[in-house]
Structure 1
């Protein structure tokens, strides 16, 4: 018998889910970190993004498979819990909180920094608080309202990116002739080595972070078994194409990888290719991008907290839904409150957590596909070795390699966070003598089709 308590409302279409994912990824981030990637690769940013795209596609395929099997909120936490072990699922959920909780904070911090640079008389905390307040209010009202606002913001962001690329093409063609538009230097040049491109790809992978967040919207998506897997692949592929194209033409404008300030290289290049008017438009685009990204990031974070609260892996209040808006209000408020930490932190400190949590999570999602394959084989159901073993194995290895490329500070902080998670898990399970509480779904239990398309309850 179905519970009478409020449940998440199914309202999102494929296009809206893709737009949410792209907003979370934030296409303009390619310009935000362009200088850093360019310096690392010796002026081969396009190659770094191409390598990162290939790596992320393997993981996207694994997310798509798991999202089709478990079309419910919880993302990697749910996948690992159901296929590997409840305790492993909890720790993966704990690790992904690094990404989910701190990414909105970083997004709002970047947006505040852009506006503070343009309006130095206004304290940066005013912008950060404004970002958090407006974003939280929109998300509390409901996912459909947030989705409509997000479509408008994403349209403007893509328009700014397109304008940036067109100005770059015009500048390159006007300065060195049309033939200069066809150059392999952004992919390979004298300063480029395989090691530098690999290091650049580890940084460039940051631009893809968030594509998995749409899995947390599964319970609010129409036909999630089909929509979410398609959306994940489209987000990664479209995002990767955008990153490569923008990086390619931007690198042509500024060959090599040396800038006065690599953290603001995009502003330097914007001044080269455009006028002061374009500089203002570019600033507006960056701010809009951060707002749209924050909107999607906070929505995804609150859904993960909701899934863990509903499971009693976190306090029960996290599993509360507003009876009228049907949104996880407490998770939204907690995410907004976490963003206030940005008032006391700088960019380097606040971003040090993110990649550790993301790469750890990505690796375990790939492991969950392999574990699912093993379970299906034991049950006498056939699954392909290539898509369910070889592809996720490659994805896991790539993500563990990217994890190893992080600086020691990020790894140390990440391990400390995981250690805290182990302590909390020990408390929940009475020193591991009891399993973590089971999920209590608001909807019917998910089903999976066997080889002969016979739906079977999990």
Structure 2
């Protein structure tokens, strides 16, 4: 058992910054081309659908974070609510999206930096980013928090300019204003498919829950940070996607270059820009600024993604379902789960060989499994007693039930490859579970109630 505990240094603003850095305010451009094509040029509507589902689920995370303020997020909630076996399988699915998100960020960094510097191979940028992110994680959460604030400010400055230049350079006639929001019956299936992919854009809110043991007042700060992060990010994604469609409505041209569609938007914005002061600075001002702001944001997301998954491994190692000698180790000086961080860095080397589209799907599969079960945790945790008022049935019954239905709805919209790979991953988890329980004849290892209470009260 680890005698060293993590530092409780994170306040509500710090947790919000962590969540936004994880999401990347400019992360909308990571899936901009793919989801614009899937939704037939209606990316803002796809975000509205995803935000509706996410909001109900975010409320459930708030309930569970208040009830169980411990590291591990969905894994810990399900493990304590439905038992070790269910918790393990949900944690196993959750690992899928958390492990693939750093890989997604490294892939994006490689693609965009190689686009800017074609003479340098993409793998050089991938490896350099991976080493830098892992080193910052190794050195501690306080350093990461300081870097997060700086990188978010850079992105927010760009977003402000992007919105200003959009309305300064677009002819705002009624047919232009309404086009991104006007949908037909034929668009519905594409919107749902796109909305399923966009789940990864909101993953920062549940990543906040993994930091319960590094929060200075987890029962209060975690729920506040979760809701504020969802609302702030949702507003940013909606406004920026709408502006992108106003600037560059020719979405059909993205079909063959979905990974870098955002660069086409920025090129077009620079081309139509009528502000002479900006033209004097550079003919490619927004394109260059976007590259800098977006890539710093992706780097921040890679940092926070590695932080979160290492905390999930830490929680699973503490329970004993993963090897304690590796995953339940805290660095005596930096107070970080350093061996988990190194393990995630090694796994992230897959970014050298994987495809961006496949990684998108893998992240959404694991996220939707976790979302579904956290909603179910609220129903069981809060409504298992005898006394049930109308208010309780609404807050702890109806609202999470809507979250379950919306999560399942989006889950069925994932593409076939994601479903196949995701189910194979779960099958591997079942095999490992059979091994851990000796063919289901033994219970899974777990911390006892006294240690749990010690963690919560610490």
Q: Say if 1:426 and 1:381 are closer, same or farther in 2 by CA, change over 3 A.
A: same
Matched, 1:346 2:355: yes
Which of 410, 415, 418 in structure 1 is aligned with 2:423?
415
Alignment of 1:299-318 (within 5 A): 299-316=307-324, 317-318=326-327
Match of 2:105 in 1: 107
| Shift in Å, 1:381 | 7.6
| Shift in Å, 1:134 | 1.1
Matched, 1:231 2:218: no
The answer to whether the 8 A contact 1:352-1:410 is kept is yes
Match of 2:52 in 1: 54
Q: CA RMSD in A?
A: 1.9
Point out the more displaced range, 314-323 or 161-170.
161-170
| Shift in Å, 1:257 | 3.0
The answer to whether the 8 A contact 1:43-1:192 is kept is no
Q: Which ranges of structure 2 fall in alignment gaps of 5 or more residues?
A: 271-282
Q: Distance in 1 between matches of 2:336 and 2:162?
A: 37
Q: Say if 1:352 and 1:189 are closer, same or farther in 2 by CA, change over 3 A.
A: closer
Which of 370, 379, 387 in structure 2 is aligned with 1:370?
379
Q: Which ranges of structure 1 fall in alignment gaps of 5 or more residues?
A: 448-458
The answer to whether the 8 A contact 1:254-1:269 is kept is yes
Q: Distance in 2 between matches of 1:4 and 1:273?
A: 54
Deviations 1:272-323 (A, max 9, x none): 1123132111111121011000011011011000000011110012010001
Which of 211, 221, 225 in structure 2 is aligned with 1:217?
211
| Shift in Å, 1:179 | 4.3
| Shift in Å, 1:445 | 5.2
| Shift in Å, 1:196 | 3.3
Match of 2:454 in 1: 444
Q: Distance in 2 between matches of 1:307 and 1:348?
A: 30
Alignment of 1:50-449 (within 5 A): 50-172=48-170, 176=171, 178-179=172-173, 183-189=177-183, 193-255=187-249, 257-260=251-254, 261-274=257-270, 275-316=283-324, 317-375=326-384, 377-378=385-386, 384-439=392-447, 441=451, 444=454, 446=456
The answer to whether the 8 A contact 1:6-1:321 is kept is yes
Match of 1:450 in 2: none
Q: Distance in 2 between matches of 1:146 and 1:40?
A: 35
Q: Distance in 2 between matches of 1:371 and 1:289?
A: 38
TM-score by length of 2: 0.91
Point out the more displaced range, 277-286 or 181-190.
181-190
Point out the more displaced range, 260-269 or 406-415.
260-269
Matched pairs, number: 439
Q: Distance in 1 between matches of 2:96 and 2:124?
A: 25
